[in-house]
A and B are shown apart, each in its own frame.
Chain A
Amino acid sequence: EAQVTQNPRYLITVTGKKLTVTCSQNMNHEYMSWYRQDPGLGLRQIYYSMNVEVTDKGDVPEGYKVSRKEKRNFPLILESPSPNQTSLYFCASSLVLPRVTDTQYFGPGTRLTVL
């Protein structure tokens, strides 16, 4: 089954404790990205990757890192999490952007709470 998976689905942590949220897709997609969703703000892009070893900042990259060593994986790293990073995080992938026919596929989300 074609899908985007994220782990963990739920995480409660404390300020300053490094964490990684994994994202994996099995569709051989080149483009992957991370979004965060906050009440009243909607979804906003954090980082994206056009291909292996190619990453770039989205709208709200501060406090986050990413890497793309393999095509299928795109982990999101919070080196020193802070309470304002409490949010619902989504990983997404698509074959290629900006092909006009592309659809983005989203993972199930990771709910992160930073105390």
Chain B
Amino acid sequence: KQEVTQIPAALSVPEGENLVLNCSFTDSAIYNLQWFRQDPGKGLTSLLLIQSSQREQTSGRLNASLDKSSGRSTLYIAASQPGDSATYLCAVHSGGGADGLTFGKGTHLIIQP
């Protein structure tokens, strides 16, 4: 059964720093991997989706990489801002149509002004 682990569970950094969030998964047979952002009282917002054949995806200050063979992904946030404060979730889609996403427990990120 697929398991997704996110490290660290919480992170607090000063504004302007570059940072890396880590995600690992146990079964490399995935269709894709997604990074989500969750804000209190709001739903999940998809940030980046990496297909299994891709190595990375970029959106603005965000860059996500995927190393499927080693079961790892990283989310790189450049020049962090207080508005980046949120919980970041990593999820993998392993199933052939039936299965849902398997989520990590998230990294709670605080950017200090």
With an 8 A cutoff between CB atoms, is B70 at the interface?
no
With an 8 A cutoff between CB atoms, is A107 at the interface?
yes
With an 8 A cutoff between CB atoms, is B97 at the interface?
yes
Contact B97 A45 (CB under 8 A): no
Closest to B94 in A: A98
Closest to A107 in B: B43
Stretch at the interface among B19-27, B45-53, B59-67, B78-86: B45-53
With an 8 A cutoff between CB atoms, is A56 at the interface?
yes
Q: Chain A interface residue count: which class?
A: 20 to 34
Q: How many residues of chain B are within 8 Å of chain A by beta carbon?
A: 29
Q: Which of B4, B98, B101, B104 contacts A104 (CB 8 A)?
A: B101
Contact A42 B32 (CB under 8 A): no
Task: A102 to B97: give the CA distance in the assembly, Å.
Answer: 11
Task: A82 to B102: give the CA distance in the assembly, Å.
Answer: 25
Contact B100 A48 (CB under 8 A): yes
Given contacts A33-B100, A103-B49, contact A109 B105 (CB under 8 A): no
Contact B101 A4 (CB under 8 A): no
Task: A108 to B89: give the CA distance in the assembly, Å.
Answer: 15
Q: A33-B100, A104-B101 are in contact. List 10 more A-B contacts (CB 8 A).
A: A35-B100, A42-B105, A45-B100, A50-B97, A56-B98, A97-B97, A100-B31, A101-B32, A102-B32, A109-B41
Instruction: Enumerate the 4 nearest inter-chain pairs by beta-carbon distance, A residue then B residue, closest first.
Output: A45-B100, A106-B44, A106-B43, A43-B103
